[in-house]
Amino acid sequence: MNENQFDAIVIGSGVGGLATAISLGQHGYKVLVLEQHYVPGGWSHSFTINGHRFSPGVHYVGQLGEGEGANKMYCDLGIANDLVFFRMNKNGFEHCHVGDRVFDYPAGTENIIKKLSERFPDESEYIDKYVRLVERVNNQIQLMPTLKTVWEKVTAPFRTHDVGKYGLFSLNRVINWHLKDPFLKAYLNVQCGDHGLPPKKASFPVHCAVMGHYLNGAYYPLGGGGGIVKAMTTAVKKQNGIVKTETGVKKIILNEAKEAIGVETDSGEKYYSNTIVSNADPHKTYFGLIGKDNLSKSLVKKLNKTKYSVTSLILFLTLEIDLTELKLDSGNYWLVKNENLDNHFEELTNTDVTKGDTFPTVFMSCTTLKDPASYDGKHHNFEIVTYVSYDCMKPFENLKDYHNAEYKEFKEKVTNKMMNNVEQLIPNAREHAITVELGTPKTNQYYIDATDGNVYGTEKSLMHVGPLAYKNRTEIKNLYLAGSSTLSHGVTGATSSGVNAAANILGIDADKVLTPKEDQFLRIYDADNPETWPEWVNTKRATKARRTKV
């Protein structure tokens, strides 16, 4: 094997691609990971502005309790010992501000049912039925890939009865069958922001998977998303794999039989392998790297019908402020104008986003409260997110350099509008601002190389999930897909897709790809309870505080 020959080449270092690389590495593969950005991680990367760290795509992770799915996956990937997570406020890991009403999501199915029933006593019986239905559908979705024997497959319709019964319905349809109060439905639907579709368009099973992922609470990684990426890239390198940044791929090399045999980078360098994995989205992979002429008519037709998820506006904000009196905590904050979420999505995606004083819906995350080791005693970092259509970027398309006066004016208007939302929660925030920087859909395109700046891969409607989603194995021999347009989206969903891609490559079941590792253990501490922190957390905080004073 020469220096340009590898057992597998992975295009893109998002967590899906890195999970594939780690999984193959555990089976003896020498893997090359190529990343066009100057840091690895895709949507999970972290970066700094004026010394303050931000993570644009990782705001919380679920299923990290002992014995839960994500915990086990990180252990089996062999990266758990390199990770630390902080448990977000178990009494309110989601703070839902709908108009002037507030509901705090507690961790645990029974706690959620109890708290909602106390708030809406007239619907307590139906709240119980609905939340337990969500839990069952999620459990059945997780069960489906594990059904292997003939008997299990024959009895699958009974084992996954609720998925079959509700699988083709929208979230709105199902929740309206069960519940009446519009505020109650808004609280239960607020996590639509985690898949990017309004209740009237969202697939009910997809929403169940999202809600189910967080039913037992939420966690945030030490170091933000970059903490996960660092652990994963370290694992790749320990297996003699290579991660090359600032190395964009121009095309996937095909032989005369139209089999993938390597890649050519933007600089003209060529690397060869009989296994190519693309962590890029389907349009970037097929149209951008393979070429339309090399694809079947049916695939081209599917690609032409494919829709991508919403894109985003993200405000990266640092405030020099004491948040104690405001009583903010490690939970997420959803600020929603009123209970009609469908109208908010329509307003966000169909209008000029510079108009109006505030956005109808924003998500706020204070990373220095979620990751207490990152706090310097003086500054708090926030990520404020809202979703928009890529159409708002049309005035800046087809320009060699879109950083013109018009783009600057666009950013100023949007930033001012988002700061108005921030001041609903933190009065006079502008007076305390140290860093105020806006990321737009163009930013997403540039750094993540996502089609139309999408944040969740393909749109998670009924036409792009389950059996209709893109498969890990492609029609091009030796080419595989990983990432949020395949198995699932989000941090753990994309990671799982990477393991699944490796299973396809190795020709084994996904549950056989990774072996259990008894020496791996995930460290978890309570973000809001200093008594649970190890001494090194306090040391980190003290060191940062000293540097800030200097």
HEC sequence for 378-435:
CEEEEEEEEEECHHHHHHHCCCCCCCCHHHHHHHHHHHHHHHHHHHHHCCCHHHHEEE
Instruction: Centre a 10 Å sphere on the Cβ of residue 541 and count the other Cβ atoms it contains.
Output: 19
DSSP assigned state of 477: T
Residue 88: closest CA among 131, 59, 119: 59
Sheet of 523-526: strand order equals: 219-221, 84-87, 523-526
186: left (phi over 0), alpha (psi -120 to 50) or beta: alpha
Note the pLDDT of residue 155. 72
- The amino acid at residue 347 is E
Note the pLDDT of residue 216. 96
For the entire predicted model, the pTM comes to: 0.94
**Distance of alpha carbon 319 from alpha carbon 390, whole angstroms:** 29
Is residue 283 within 8 Å of residue 306, measured between CB atoms? Answer: yes
**Distance of alpha carbon 425 from alpha carbon 524, whole angstroms:** 28
**Distance of alpha carbon 35 from alpha carbon 269, whole angstroms:** 14
Note the pLDDT of residue 152. 63
**Distance of alpha carbon 218 from alpha carbon 92, whole angstroms:** 10
| Per-position pLDDT tens, the chain of length 550 | 578 999 999 999 999 999 999 999 999 999 999 999 999 999 999 999 999 999 999 999 999 999 999 999 999 999 999 999 999 999 999 999 999 999 999 999 999 999 999 999 999 999 999 999 999 988 888 866 666 676 766 676 767 788 788 888 999 999 999 999 999 999 999 999 999 999 999 999 999 999 999 999 999 999 999 999 999 999 999 999 999 999 999 999 999 999 999 999 999 999 999 999 999 999 999 999 999 999 999 999 999 999 999 999 999 999 999 998 899 999 999 999 999 999 999 998 887 899 999 999 999 999 999 999 999 999 999 999 999 999 999 888 888 788 899 999 999 999 999 999 999 999 999 999 999 999 999 999 989 999 999 999 999 887 888 778 899 999 999 999 999 999 888 999 999 999 999 999 999 999 899 999 999 999 999 999 999 999 999 999 999 999 887 5
**Distance of alpha carbon 357 from alpha carbon 337, whole angstroms:** 12
3-state DSSP helix/strand/coil % of the chain, to nearest 5: 45, 20, 35
> Angle 124-143/182-189 helices, nearest 10 degrees?
20
Topology of the domain covering 8-85+222-307+457-512? FAD/NAD(P)-binding domain (3.50.50)
**Distance of alpha carbon 115 from alpha carbon 94, whole angstroms:** 13
**Distance of alpha carbon 21 from alpha carbon 276, whole angstroms:** 11
Residue 274: closest CA among 480, 497, 495: 480
